[in-house]
Amino acid sequence: MTKLMRGIRGATTVGVDLPADISAATQELLQAMLERNKVPLDDVISVIFTSTTDLTSIFPASAARDVGFSGVPLICAQEIQVPGSMPRVLRIMMHVYTERSKSEIEHVYIGEAQSLRRDLE
């Protein structure tokens, strides 16, 4: 079967805006996204990280580099401030090569972020 490019979404929340907390949350989410979709790191094309405006102590991409993503194009951006939205949220959009169909992709929402996509439960 031919590998196609797919996007895998994920989100998690961070308890406190500290580098160690953001790093741990980033690494946990990246690992879960790879494992659940059976994607080897070599098949990752690029990763976009976004975070809410209350997470500013470290770039999530720095945490990704610490767990093997140093050869993958990474970029960080800030979420728009929507009144009443969930605080301290880290989101990831990972572009990968995979043999999985769109319907087989498992998007990963951890902790409080699970409530962001109840349709995926």
65 is catalytic: yes
DSSP three-state, residue 97: strand
Q: Of the residues 28, 36, 106, 117, which is catalytic?
A: 117
35 is catalytic: no
97 is catalytic: no
Q: Of the residues 6, 36, 65, 104, which is catalytic?
A: 65
- Nearest-angstrom CA–CA distance, 41 and 10: 16
Q: Of the residues 9, 97, 106, 112, which is catalytic?
A: 9
Q: Of the residues 76, 97, 100, 112, which is catalytic?
A: 76
DSSP three-state, residue 12: strand
Task: Characterize the bridge pairing of strands 89-98 and 44-51.
Answer: antiparallel
Tokens standing for 11?
């989100």
Q: Of the residues 79, 100, 106, 112, which is catalytic?
A: 79
Catalytic site residues? 9, 65, 76, 79, 91, 109, 117
